[in-house]
Structure formats: structure tokens, C-alpha cells
Amino acid sequence: MYKFATYKDQYKANLRLALPVVLTQLGQILTQVADNLMVGRYGGSDPTPLAAVSFGGAVFFILFIAAIGIALGMTPLVGELYAQGDREKSSGLLQNGILFYGLLGVAMAAVQYAVIPLMYHLGQPAEVVDMAIPYYRMLVWSMPFIMLFFTFKQFLEGVGNTKVEMFVTIAANLANIGFNWVFIYGRYGFPEMGAEGAGLGTLMSRIIAPMLMIGYFYSRSKYRVYLEGFSPRNYSWASVRQLLHMGLPISMQMFLEASAFVGTGIMMGWFNKETMSANQIATTIGNCAFMIVMSIGAATTIRVSHCYGARDIGQLSLAAKASYHLVLAWNALAALVFITMRNVIPTFFTTNAEVIAIASNLMVFAALYQLSDGIQNVSVGILRGIQDVKIIMPIAFVSYWLLNLPAGYLFGFTMGMGPSGLFLGFSFGLSAAAVMMIVRIRRSISRLHANGNSQSTIRNS
């Protein structure tokens, strides 16, 4: 039976970690929102600029999220070491992470750049692709800087510090808005660059973010020690293998989930550019709600990894359940807002009546998958925290590639539901992922309880 008193301290501990991450995620989303709002307003009744940002951002997002997923593998590893007080190994992970993730960012940028000729073969309107490519190029150049920022961000989350990333992200995104205003509209003597200007503003802000992180580490003695003796000569394949062992399954799960959203976005382009613009609006608003979900998931990983490191399975279970309660409450509220405000929110982005009508309808279907989305994300956070990550990749493959995308195509095209049918596919994929991950978590925590009881018996005998 549920008792608030049982979870009160868990809610406080989870929210204490999650709230700064909320503002960090808000900052990340604000990059997209600022680009969309300012480019949408720049285009006025012409949906082409907003559609171009939508398409360019979608193509970039596929490998971007895969690279970020690899970096997320650092947090549970550092969290376990932090709970055990092992600073030396934590330092090794950070230093190797800086080198490895930085090189990974360069490699990903090279692959993303090579993709540009393929963008004309994805069934999108030619004028949209023409405008999307310059915007996309700017995002590609930002990739190494993103990876450096996430290296320091994930390390700090591992040691339970989520406030610094918040301040850095807010500062970088305020800079992004300022750069957008200058470059999109051509202020202070700069040429009017439109969608490409939004990409340049994003690039500049992403250069600033890791510079601020590095400055913070060197200005604080308790973090500066983790960088002492930093040298490429300290590069350790064993440490990199450890980061990859944890990060690759997370990366693949995020890639598979993101590919469902990106694939849906590409299929939206098979209708027309108005539908593309509407999809971008609905997706952007969905991402704003999802930032809270991601923040609770990140806090869950930190709490669970610390409990896992201390081998306190009782607290681990309570922390996990508290996260489920928080995310369900939030997603219920988000779904309500999506439905009641569906005719108002799209007007903030565009004056095109057709785009507004399609986006309003899509927001209803976005509301349908909110609860499943919250449950599956927190479940991933729990599995990361207990370092049980191999299973999430096959679950994601079944959920998003075998269910989500085919169901969306079936409803959207075969059954003639149009854009709404594509969004309905998300409900199937996310619900399947939520159910399968909960089953896995129950088994894993039962096993941890059993192992803990066995160790207690040995100690007491």
C-alpha cells in the first residue's frame, strides 16, 4: 500500500538532483525551440525555413544522439566509484573520456558531413533540402564541442553535481538566442542568413559550453585534481573499453528510439512541407515535456548508481519507485496541457493556418504516449544505474523498429490516417518498451536482493 511518508525523503533526494538537470535539459531544448521560433517567425507564412530546420535537425540528430549515448555510459561508472571513494579510477575515466569522446566527436562529424549528398534522396522537397544543408553543416561542425561538454557533464553527474551543467547550459543558450538574433536577421552589419544563421548561432553557443566547463574544473581544487597529470600518454585502452562496454548499449538504445522519431519526421515529408513544419512544432513541444522526463531519468541513474555502489538495495528500490511516481505525475499533467492548449501553442511558431491545424491534431496524439514515454525513460535510468545495459538494445530494436515505425506507416499510409497515424505508432513502440523494461528491472532487482541476502548469510555464519 502506498504511503507518502515512505517516499517523502526519496522524492526530495531525486528532485534535488533532477531540478538542476531540468534546467540543463531546458537549455538543451531551448536551442531547438529558439531556432524553431526565430526561424518560423523569419519565414512568416512561408513554411520552407521551418521545414528546412526540421529536416536538417532530424538528419543531424540520428548520429548526434548515438554519440551522446556513448558519453552517458560514464555516469553510472563514476557514480559507483564515487560511492566507493575511489578517486584515482574516477580520474582515469575522466581523462580517457576527454580524449576518447573528443576524437569520437570528430569522427561523427566526418560521417555526418559525408551524409550530405544523401539528403536529396530522402523524399523531401528540393527547396527544403537546399535550405537545410547550410544549417546542417553548422550543426556538424559543433559535434566535437558537444562531446567535450558531455564528457565533463556526465562526470559531474556521476559525483552528484548537477548544478554546474545547469549554469553552463543556461549561459550557452542565452548566447545562442543572441547569436540567432544577429545572424538570422542580419544585425550589426552581418548579412541576413535565415536558417543558416540559426545553425551558426548554435555552433557558437556549443563552442562556449565546453570552455566554461573546463574553466570551472580548473577553478575548483576538488575537481582540478581529477585533471592532474593529464596527457595523451595516459590513454588507456582498458578505460576506453570500460566506457564503451557501458556506453554502446545505451547509445544503441537511444539511436533506435531516436530513429523512430527521425524516421517518422522523414515520412512526414512525404506528405508536404506544411506537414513537416507541423511535425516540427509538435515534436518540439513534446521535447519540452520530455526534458522533465530525461531529468528524472538522469537523477534516477545517479541515485541508483550510488546505492548500487554502496550495495544498499533497499534504498535503491525506493529511489527507483519514487522516480516512477514523479514521472507519472508529470506526464499526466503534460498530456492534459497538450490536449487543452493544442489550438494555441502552434500559433507561437507560425501564422500558416494549415500548419497550425495539422500541429494541433498531432498534439492530441502526442498526449497519448506521454505516460509510456515517462515509464520507459525512467526504466532505462534504473538499468543504467545498476549497469544492466545490454538488454536495453534488443528491447529498443523490437519496440521501435519492429513495432513503432511499421505501425506508424500502417496507420499513416495504408489505413489513410495521415500524419496522425504516424504519431499513433509512437504509442505502440513506447508502451512495448515500457512493459519489457519493467519486467527486466523486476528480475534484476530480485537478483540483487538475493545476492545481498546471500552475502549477509555468509557474513553472519
Q: How confident is the model at residue 27 (pLDDT cuts 50, 70, 90)?
A: low
Q: How far apart are CA 171 and CA 180, in angstroms?
A: 14
What residue spans of 186-236 are helical by DSSP H?
195-219, 221-224
Residue 437's pLDDT band (boundaries 50, 70, 90)? very high
Q: What angle do CA 25, 372, 392 make, to 5 degrees?
A: 80
Taking phi over 0 as left and psi of -120 to 50 as alpha, with beta for the rest, 371 belongs to alpha
Q: Indicate whether 104 pLDDT > 90.
A: yes
Band of residue 37 on the pLDDT scale cut at 50, 70, 90: low
What pLDDT is attached to residue 414?
92
How far is Cα 344 from Cα 437, in angstroms, rounded to an integer? 36
What is the mean pLDDT of the segment spanning 104-116? 92
Please state, in angstroms and rounded to a whole number, the distance separating the CA atoms of residues 9 and 322: 9
pLDDT at residue 458, as a whole number: 33
pLDDT digits 0-9 by tens, 314-360: 888 899 999 999 999 999 999 999 999 999 988 888 788 898 999 99
Average pLDDT, whole number, for the chain?
85
How does pLDDT run across 234-263, given as a tens digit for each residue?
778 888 888 888 888 888 888 888 888 888
Would you say 231 and 190 are in contact if contact means Cβ atoms under 8 Å apart?
Answer: no
Check whether 290 has a pLDDT greater than 60.
yes
CA terminus-to-terminus distance, the chain: 34
Q: Which of 34-43, 126-135, 287-296 has the lowest mean pLDDT?
A: 34-43
Chain position carrying cell 546471500: 454
Tens of pLDDT, residues 390-410: 899 899 999 999 999 999 999
What pLDDT digit, counting tens, does each position of 44-69 carry?
A: 666 677 777 777 877 888 788 888 88
Q: Tell me what pLDDT residue 31 has.
A: 63
User: What's the grid cell of residue 433?
Assistant: 518498451
Cell numbers given for 421:
497515424
Nearest to 59 by CA among 290, 258, 226: 258
Q: What percentage of the chain reaches a pLDDT higher than 70?
A: 92
The whole-angstrom separation of Cα 254 and Cα 221 is 35
HSE, CB side, 13 Å, CA atoms: give it for residue 159. 20
Q: What is the structure's pLDDT at 143?
A: 93
Total-model pTM: 0.76
